[in-house]
A and B are shown apart, each in its own frame.
Chain A
Amino acid sequence: MNVGLHFYLLEIKKILSYRAEFWLGFIGNVASQFGVAYFLWKAIFLARGLTSLQGFDFGALMLYYLLVPLVERAVNGQELGNVSGEIYEGGLTRYLLYPVSFFRIKYLGQLAQSTVFLVQLFVAMALFMLIFRTPHAIGIFSILKTIPVIFCAGILHFIMTINLEIIAFWADNVWSLTVLNRLITHLLGGGLLPLAFFPDRVQSWLGYLPYSRLVSFPINCLLGHVGNREWLIGLTVTAAWSLGLGLVAAWTWSRGLKTYTGVGI
């Protein structure tokens, strides 16, 4: 078996072996975010007597907010602080000794998590449609279009996070930076509000930034709001950001390794 596949399967085994984390992470994360959005928007719709807002009726909006935490989990995995932790605690030493690429192993870990979370996403969606009998059906074609989008968004997110976490070679703590990055992604990516709620000019600017590719774009793909041309452009923008930020990460990493002290041994 290929070493990459071995790492990938091992990570999946690890996720599945922590039962409490598996279920609490899934239910807790989705329920808390969805619950807040549900009560908040229900109050707004009732108070203003709205039937739709920026093209979203209440059901469509709720489906969007259900998908936000699910898509974010599928794109992000749970790798926050993983690389910086390895640098601070000297765990990187192990990967410098082994004849394998550190980033390949780390990425495969994230990919494994994304795979599990993607399955959770589809299960949750099926349950939602079954319970609420929503007319906003998600077609198989949309699902097929979304899988590569989530895959590419995962790579982009991984590279963006790496760029921040590499700073751990020089800074005492990068936790706040990675948390800040998550908040900015959540806000500018369309996690807090659908991007359709932003002014047109802001929306077009946000389209050039990487954040919307991590949240809003995959959700819109899933909801069938993305045409083929837009889909291709979206993937190209994601790939361009990944390439550019990947080059920055490679350069910073090689500089950072020269300052690594292998602390803890």
Chain B
Amino acid sequence: MIKARGLTKTFKVHKKQPGFAGSLRSLFVRNWEEVHALKGVDLDVEAGEIVGLVGANGAGKTTLVKALAGIIHPTGGTAEVLGHVPWRRHNEFRRQIALIMGQKAQLWWDLPAADGFLLLRQIYQVPEARFRENLARLVDALQVSDKLNVQIRKLSLGERMKMELIAALLHQPQVVFLDEPTIGLDLSAQRAIREFILDYRKRENPAMILTSHYMEDIESLCQRIVLVRQGEKVYDGSTVKLVEMYARHKVLTAHLQVGESPPDGPPRPDRMAGEILEWNGTALKIKVERRDAAGVAAQLLGNYSVADLSIEEEDVGTVIESMLKSGPAT
């Protein structure tokens, strides 16, 4: 459904010297700098996939999304979305895609959401019956029926975001780009939106690309992650595999028998192979190198009366964070 090869995008940015003299100088002389936002990115996304596009600010995630949605022209490379070149913006292509931007409202601020939805029905030429059915289902799923007649500008951020989601999905797009859809939302709104996205995927089987800085979004929605750093793709694969391949540590949590104190006294960092994350007298949490995990578990079981022991992988967020800082471990 989505296929990109060697996508590059270079922006020319005006660099102005600071201060009044700099402003004055820029009236006559302009210094331009080239910023390479994308450096030959390849990407394939199939129907039914939700791909998490992850990277630091300025890594090129949103630029990639904008190119694939047809908003910007890339400097080089090719892309096909649903068989169309996105930046040619054929109506047939635009009728089948949606872009949801957490940081930018698309609905008309002066209008109540209900009016905006009617307008979108006209724009996308959705048949009346299908429109009513879709709207009822989406409104019900996001529980915003009492807000439909309120002007968009008067809604809370969470309510607005829900309306944006409804607006974007009313025409049942086959490709959906979600650019930070949960940004700034409280936990329950984030959860509601995640559930809603999963439900939409189950129902419509679209190809979806999600960018988010919230690892909870990535972990719960994406089986596949594409990691972008400085305009380049540095990882493209399953989320689980990412952790298996690149997580350097495991976290061991041991709960001791109640009432028994450790014979050797409290655990001490110099006696353990890992880093003690937490010790409250009964529960011990240690971060250890993956290769040491079995040994440390045996040590714990041998030295303490352990009621319960669990070994967990490092969370995806930590792995991604370390990869973004240092690159994939080899």
Show the binding face of A for B, using Cβ within 8 Å.
1-3, 6-7, 10, 14, 17, 90, 93-94, 96-100, 257-258, 260-262, 264-265
Closest to A10 in B: B119
Q: Give the complex CA separation of A1 and B119 in angstroms.
A: 10
Chain A, residue nearest B120 (CB): A98
Q: Are B73 and A1 in contact (CB under 8 A)?
A: no
Chain B residue at minimal CB-CB distance from A5:
B122
Instruction: Name which of B52-60, B62-70, B140-148, B256-264 contacts chain A.
Output: B62-70
Cβ of B21 within 8 Å of any chain A Cβ, yes or no, is no
Query: Distance in Å from the Cβ of A250 to the closest Cβ of chain B?
Result: 15
Which residues of B109-130 are within 8 A (CB) of A? 110-111, 115, 118-120, 122-125
Q: What would 26 A/B residue contacts be, using CB atoms closer than 8 Å?
A: A2-B122, A3-B119, A3-B122, A6-B118, A6-B119, A10-B115, A10-B119, A90-B104, A93-B106, A97-B70, A97-B71, A97-B97, A97-B98, A97-B106, A98-B120, A98-B124, A99-B94, A99-B95, A258-B73, A261-B11, A261-B72, A262-B66, A262-B72, A264-B104, A265-B62, A265-B101
Q: Which of chain B's residues have a CB closer than 8 A to the CB of A261? A: 11, 72
Q: Does B89 contact A (CB under 8 A)?
A: yes
Q: Which of B70, B72, B103, B125 has the most CB of A within 10 A?
A: B72
Please determine whether B104 and A98 come into contact, CB atoms closer than 8 angstroms.
Answer: no
Using known A-B contacts A96-B71, A99-B95, determine if residue A264 contacts B11 with beta carbons closer than 8 Å.
no
Among candidates B91, B98, B101, B119, residue contacting A7 with C-beta atoms closer than 8 Å: B119
Partner of A6, one of B62, B92, B104, B122: B122
Is B99 among interface residues, defined by CB-CB distance under 8 A?
yes
Interface assignment of B179: CB less than 8 Å from any CB of chain A: yes
- The CA-CA distance from A261 to B98 in the complex, in Å, is 18
Given A97-B71, A97-B97, 20 more A-B residue pairs with CB atoms under 8 Å apart are: A1-B122, A2-B122, A3-B123, A6-B118, A6-B122, A7-B119, A10-B111, A10-B115, A14-B111, A17-B110, A93-B71, A93-B101, A96-B70, A97-B69, A98-B120, A100-B123, A258-B73, A261-B11, A262-B72, A265-B103
Residues of B contacting A2 in the complex (Cβ-Cβ under 8 angstroms):
122
A260 and B71 form a contact (CB under 8 A)? yes
- A10 neighbours in B (Cβ, 8 Å): 111, 115, 119
Residues of A within 8 A of B103 (CB): 264-265
Q: How far is the CA of A221 from the CA of B11 in the complex (A)?
A: 51
Number of B positions contacting A (CB below 8 A): 31
Inter-chain contacts of B98 with A (CB < 8 A): 97
Is the CB–CB distance between B89 and A96 below 8 Å? yes
Q: Does B66 lie within 8 Å of A265, measured CB to CB?
A: yes
What CA separation (Å) do A6 and B123 show in the bound complex? 9
Residue numbers in B under 8 Å from A17 (CB-CB): 110
- Establish whether residues B179 and A265, one from each chain, have CB atoms under 8 Å apart when the complex forms: yes
A170 to chain B, nearest CB (A): 10
Q: Which secondary structure dominates where chain B touches chain A?
A: mixed
List of A residues within 8 angstroms of B72 by Cβ: 260-262
Whole-angstrom distance between the alpha carbons of A257 and B72 in the complex? 7
Residues of B within 8 A of A262 (CB): 66, 71-72
Task: Give min CB distance, B41 to chain A, whole Å.
Answer: 17
Chain A residue numbers with a CB within 8 Å of B123 are: 3, 98-100
- For the complex, what is the distance from the CA of A90 to the CA of B66, rounded to whole Å? 12
* Least CB separation from B89: chain A residue: A96
Those 6 A-B pairs whose CB atoms lie nearest each other, nearest first? A99-B91, A3-B122, A99-B94, A262-B71, A265-B101, A258-B73
Residues of B within 8 A of A257 (CB): 73
| Chain B neighbourhood of A90, CB < 8 A | 104
Q: Which residues of A contact B119 (CB under 8 A)?
A: 3, 6-7, 10
User: Do the beta carbons of B99 and A97 come within 8 Å of each other?
Assistant: yes
- Minimum distance in angstroms from A258 CB to a CB of chain B: 5
For residue B13, which residue of chain A has the nearest CB?
A: A261
Give bound CA distance, A226 to B89, whole Å. 45
Assembled-state Cα–Cα distance A14/B62 (Å) = 33
Q: What residue in chain B is nearest A262 (Cβ atoms)?
A: B71
Chain B residues numbered 28-82 whose CB sits less than 8 Å from any CB in chain A = 62, 66, 69-73
Q: Which residues of B contact A100 (CB under 8 A)?
A: 123
Q: Which of B179-238 contact A (CB under 8 A)?
A: 179
A97 to B73, CA, bound (A): 14
On whether the beta carbons of A94 and B106 are closer than 8 Å, the reply is yes
CA distance A98 to B92 in the complex (A): 10
A3→B125 CA distance, assembly (Å): 8
CB neighbours of A96 from chain B (8 A): 70-71, 89
Residue of A nearest to B104 (CB): A265
A14 CB → nearest B CB, Å = 6
Nearest chain A CB to B136 CB, angstrom units: 21
Q: Give the Cβ gap from B125 to chain A, nearest Cβ, in Å.
A: 8
Q: How far is the CA of A258 from the CA of B70 in the complex (A)?
A: 11
B-side contacts of A99, CB under 8 Å: 91-92, 94-95, 123-124
Q: Which residues of A contact B99 (CB under 8 A)?
A: 93, 97
A90 to B99, CA, bound (A): 14
Flag if A98 contacts B71 (CB, 8 Å). no
Distance in angstroms between the alpha carbons of A139 and B11 in the assembled complex? 59
Most buried by A among B62, B97, B118, B123: B123
